[in-house]
Amino acid sequence: MKILFINDDGYDAIGIQSLYKEFAPHCDAYMCAPLHHKSAFSHAIYIHGSLELQELKGDVKGFALDGTPADCARASFNGLFDEEFDIVLSGINDGVNAAQDIFYSGTVGAARESSFQQKLAIAFSLDYYNETLCKESKEQLFTYTSKISRKIVESLPADLLSYKNSIININFPPTTKPKGIKLTDVGQHDFHTIVTRRKDNGIDRVDIDVEHRGSLSGEGTDSYHLQEGYIVVTALHQGVVLDKKLQEKLQYLEKLSLDI
């Protein structure tokens, strides 16, 4: 299987490096990821212009591109590689990408663009900043998440690769002992945006911060069950709305062993 790896945290981020390292011995692996951190760039793209490209060294085949996550997908399928990829894996994002995050996330944006390029894509994210659940080191969590991600991909029936207008969005709680896997709908975070206006050397500035207060949604949603300690899986048509048909075909994942 030929797999393309993309993310939004940058080519050298722990998430994509861990995921690539886990998969590379078992598949034909390639990477095209942003040269610099592009978190929360959603589906932004460059229409015209020249973007710096650096060929990656060492054991990683591919490139770092000074564009957005979606640019990495567009370039990969339109001349950057000569390969015909079977699937795209985006992530592992360092932070949650559930609920309304799917509209902000560069990780999901790269997966969505891949679906526009007629390839099934999976977006992987780790809710690392959940202080209530997080008790283990970042290295332990990303290693475990990478291994379970490979189990999920290797378990996919071959016919699911034909779902080229949908993506699969998967969020992991920050623990190596999740309660299980749940297939969920899209929920809603309880976000509070904090805006502070101030002067800085005579220049008006606005400082923006976000406080996450939990989930506004109930049972059956990604934000709710992620907080409970489950791995949550949501099939999204064009990366936006629930794909009920694909969701039904993924129900078997709720019985997948999480032992490694």
* Domains of the chain (ranges, CATH numbers): 2-255 (3.40.1210.10)
Q: How far apart are CA 46 and CA 9, in angstroms?
A: 18
Span 214-220, mean pLDDT? 87
Share of the chain above pLDDT 70, in %: 100
What whole-number distance in Å separates Cα of residue 110 and Cα of residue 169? 12
As to burial, measured by CB atoms within 10 angstroms (0-12 exposed, 13-18 middle, 19+ buried), residue 164 is: middle
CA-CA distances (angstroms) from residue 237 to 83, 147, 234?
A: 25, 26, 10
Residue pair 257/178 in contact by the 8 Å Cβ criterion: no
Report the chain's mean pLDDT, rounded to a whole number.
95
153, pLDDT greater than 90: yes
Provide mean pLDDT across the span 186-210.
92
SS3 assignment, position 133: coil
Among residues 231, 39, 86, the alpha carbon closest in space to that of 144 is found at: 231
pLDDT band at 216 (very low <50, low <70, confident <90, very high): confident
Q: What is the CA radius of gyration of the chain?
A: 18
